[in-house]
Chain A
């Protein structure tokens, strides 16, 4: 090993690092940053978010702006979603694909007046930027907006709380976004706000200049409905919502069909292809994938976690990629990849944990129903 490899990697500080510490957070290293894993406890924070509103600091995620003539068409070579059809203020969940159709990241793309606003996972953002720079034409500008923080306010009361701080946000429906003003009329601060998130609940994601992040977090937490929530509950909330975590439930080994994300392959793209790995992906769509990501109900109380092998009678047929205790379900749940013949809901399988077999039942996702504020849905 060379000396260079022994250099300790510096763990970076995010705009709200001290804000979390002052509020009693326990900090851990995540995606190269000091991040809050919990405040009062994962269980309480999880349940609070499902019933009220939780404030999550997701400033580790990469906020990119792709601009220039033809940015949408260029991005479509690398993702299977219909990006060019996105109207201003509309967003779409998509997947960044390598040349073989393997998933490099999952991301959100929003059409804005400035270009395509893309939010990518913190742990792989530098790889994503490198990949985008290599594969997008030179005339497409990639602006990594690392001078901005990203806050997520999630839960059934998120709209009530945010509306008091930022007027007008209730006009947004699920997967819509826009620019809103916050602060005194004499010196308002523009925020980019979307009605989206990763908990399965209604909520918002707010892009704010790093310089104003603390003031905004304070203003939100001053609302009776809002408490700060750590990464621990973020993980249990997204697992209950059946939402994959990149690097665990998705990685370059799997394509979007295997990853149960066929919904992200837009109709026009299915017909036209023209994206990385289209041959493999369209074939998997037509014929069915060899393996697929599914949800599992777990018998008993013992959690089944990432890495546990999954067995059918004839041997190992897959493995667990996410698992743990689900506070709102009141039982352990898991997700994992299994061979296709074992994916129908209700299929009984077994996981092995510390040498013991635990019965799994393939479950419909999500485990907890989504409560999104969708356009056109009666209230």
Chain B
């Protein structure tokens, strides 16, 4: 399993052509208290860079983008009852959705952990 990161502060764990997507610890710390999350339904077709999910803090609503293109296989239903999972465990239990990648070459443009760390430090 390999973890990649986007400049929009999503992480994606890839295992073959299936993947899990969430937002990074940095992203949740910037958003603050998460009070609502809307995840895509299984079967939804996502395009790299397109809207995939919504996360809302007390203050504002933010889009979560698809890091790569693919078909959603599962949304994290646990976020409906406990959206604060995104704060408490953003890169684990607070994942947003799983998908089947349609083009694994899209991963080439994403960052690895070291590159993302440097990216955040430069912000």
Contacts and interface: CB of A to CB of B under 8 A. Distances in A.
Contacts of A235: 59
A43 B83 CA distance: 14
Interface in A250-291: none
A235 B32 CA distance: 15
Interface string A196-238: 0000000000000000000000000000000000001001100
B52 to A, nearest CB: 13
A305 B61 CA distance: 9
Contacts of A38: 32
A42 B83 contact: no
A20 B56 CA distance: 25
A366 to B, nearest CB: 18
A42 B33 contact: yes
A161 to B, nearest CB: 25
Count chain A CB atoms within 10 A of each CB in B35, B36, B60 and give the residue with the most: B35
- Of the four ranges (under 10, 10 to 19, 20 to 34, 35 or more), the interface on chain A belongs to 10 to 19
A42 B32 contact: yes
A301 B33 contact: no
Query: Secondary structure at chain A's binding surface: helix, strand, loop or mixed?
Result: mixed
B58 A42 contact: yes
Contacts of A236: 58
A302 B35 CA distance: 8
Nearest to B56: A303
A219 to B, nearest CB: 29
B58 A302 contact: no
Contact of A42 (B59, B61, B80): B59
Contacts of B59: 37, 42, 232, 235, 324
A41 interface: yes
Count chain A CB atoms within 10 A of each CB in B33, B38, B54 and give the residue with the most: B33
A41 B36 contact: no
B27 to A, nearest CB: 14
A324 B80 contact: no
A37 B54 CA distance: 22
Given A42-B32, A305-B60, 15 more contacts: A41-B32, A43-B32, A43-B58, A44-B33, A232-B32, A235-B59, A301-B36, A301-B80, A302-B36, A303-B35, A303-B56, A303-B61, A324-B58, A324-B59, A325-B35
Interface of A: 37-38, 41-44, 46, 232, 235-236, 301-303, 305, 324-325, 327, 332, 354
Top 8 closest pairs, chain A to chain B, by CB: A325-B35, A43-B33, A42-B58, A325-B58, A301-B36, A302-B36, A303-B56, A232-B59
